[in-house]
A = this chain, B = another copy of it.
Amino acid sequence: MTLSETYHQIRQRSETICSKLQTEDYVVQPIVDVSPPKWHLGHTTWFFETFILKPYVTGYQEYNPEYNYVFNSYYETVGARVIRTDRGNLSRPTVLEVYRYRAYVDEAMMNFLCHETSPEIKELLILGFNHEEQHQELLYYDIKYILGHNPLFPAYDHAYHSPAHEKSPTANFIPIPEGVYEIGFSGQGFCFDNELNRHKVYLNAYEISPNLVTNGEYLKFIEDGGYHDFRYWHSEGLDWVKNNHIECPLYWHRVDEQWQHYTYRGLEPVKLDEPLCHISYYEAYAYASWKGLRLPTEFEWEAASNKFNWGLRWEWTESAYLPYPGFAKAPGAIGEYNGKFMVNQKVLRGGSEVTPPGHSRATYRNFFHPNLRWLFSGIRLAR
């Protein structure tokens, strides 16, 4: 595919995701971690305008200088911005206006992509593609949160179809021998800076489950009083459980003696054999402790990743999100991409049913704070 075809396809996909929304759904921000869908559409557009069109297209006429302020996310290098908690207070620009902004930038980009580009620009473009794909996944999370926390529990798409999840033929844990393993990205394609450099780690012998923990398995933890037994929890995890009155995964509701959960199709009974979803790291850790097992590190996960299927859930690992040896930030605004988040977050590996096709890989390092649950997070056990 040409760059211009890829650009078109990725940009189109963001709009397709939103095509099932009502105008009002584009606007709200029920919690700070969720952004209004129209903000995602504007921000990804701002990214191309700011980092490609304005520096590299002579005579490019900026669409609206005030959008810099509205759609900048966290790039301190490029100036002031609406603070994150205020995104849901902005009724303007309207959804229609944001789509007009997208069309304007897309036209300029398509013109630009008719011409040959330098390797440097190509690299920026591919970063922009991957950036928009990351926001596509966030769009799915945020839409689910917005609709799933509405008292009317409206469906996003009655025909939404979750991918099949095949269990491994055996439940036996996979043994991995002690030794030095190579970790991190190598090869030709794209990767984020946090996956570099490929380096050696020494791993003790360990075993890792071929399967994800299911709803039914987690239900046993709930029924055993797991949420109320301090022995399984980090001290901070227990505070989080108590302060937020946590009793079950996000989106679960006890209705008429039955466990239901909100899905993109609306409220449905929880299926016991489906992989567990929407739990925090604290819960993942507590569940593993209750089982007498543990979570894998991100290195253990990566070293074994060719031995099991993955891609259905982002799997919490025991690893903190830290730089790899030799990690170096790019200069300028692009260098703000990953490094500045490398404290107090946990690494997740895998992928999810709402990860754009081909976006994840075995070396991909996703990361979130340990209390967050609106991502499609699950558990794989190790020992």
Contact = CB atoms under 8 A, between A and B. Distances in A.
Interface of A: 22-30, 38, 66, 69-70, 74, 76-77, 82, 86, 88-95, 146-147, 149-152, 154, 180, 199-204, 206, 230-231, 233-238, 281-282, 285, 294, 318-320, 322-323, 325-326, 340-344, 346, 370
A23 B94 contact: yes
Nearest to A319: B322
A325 B154 CA distance: 46
Chain A binding surface SS class = mixed
Contact of A201 (B94, B202, B230): B202
A200 B202 contact: yes
9 contacts: A23-B24, A24-B38, A25-B91, A27-B91, A30-B89, A66-B151, A199-B204, A202-B202, A318-B323
A146 to B, nearest CB: 6
A204 B201 CA distance: 9
Contact of A28 (B91, B93, B149, B281): B91
B91 A237 contact: no
The list of the 9 closest CB pairs from A to B, nearest first, reads A320-B320, A30-B89, A24-B91, A202-B202, A76-B230, A25-B91, A204-B325, A200-B202, A235-B340
B319 A91 contact: no
B200 A92 contact: no
B30 A28 contact: no
A326 B236 CA distance: 22
Contacts of A69: 151
